[in-house]
Structure 1
Amino acid sequence: MGLVIIFGLAAILGIFALISAFKNKNFLGVLFALGTVAVFGWFSVMTVLNNGYPTGH
């Protein structure tokens, strides 16, 4: 579950970076931030779908 949290935080920070890069018209930053959001967001979603959401014990 810790891996999903780290991937999710990286994706959320990538969204903030994407917004900031759009505001500053930094197109290379937009490219890298979009790649970060796509990769880490995909990894976090697929990790939850593959391993399932843990139940409380």
Structure 2
Amino acid sequence: MILEALGELKEPNGSEVATICNFIEQRHEVQPNFRRLLCAKLRRLIGVNKVEKV
């Protein structure tokens, strides 16, 4: 879901966590603590070089 959101948003300077969260919430049913889980998954993706933090 995160990679889908990043691919669809295609912002030139990267996407903020709030923007990614809103995108996913509009398309999928998410848990109440989704934002916290999203931040943890983004940190993990950055750690394994799947995405780049700018």
Asked if TM exceeds 0.5, the reply is no
TM-score range, shorter chain: 0.3 to 0.5
Higher helix share: 1
Q: Which has the higher contact order (CA 8 A, sep 6+)?
A: 1
Per the normalisation by structure 2, the TM-score is: 0.32
| Superposition TM-score, scaled by structure 1 size | 0.31
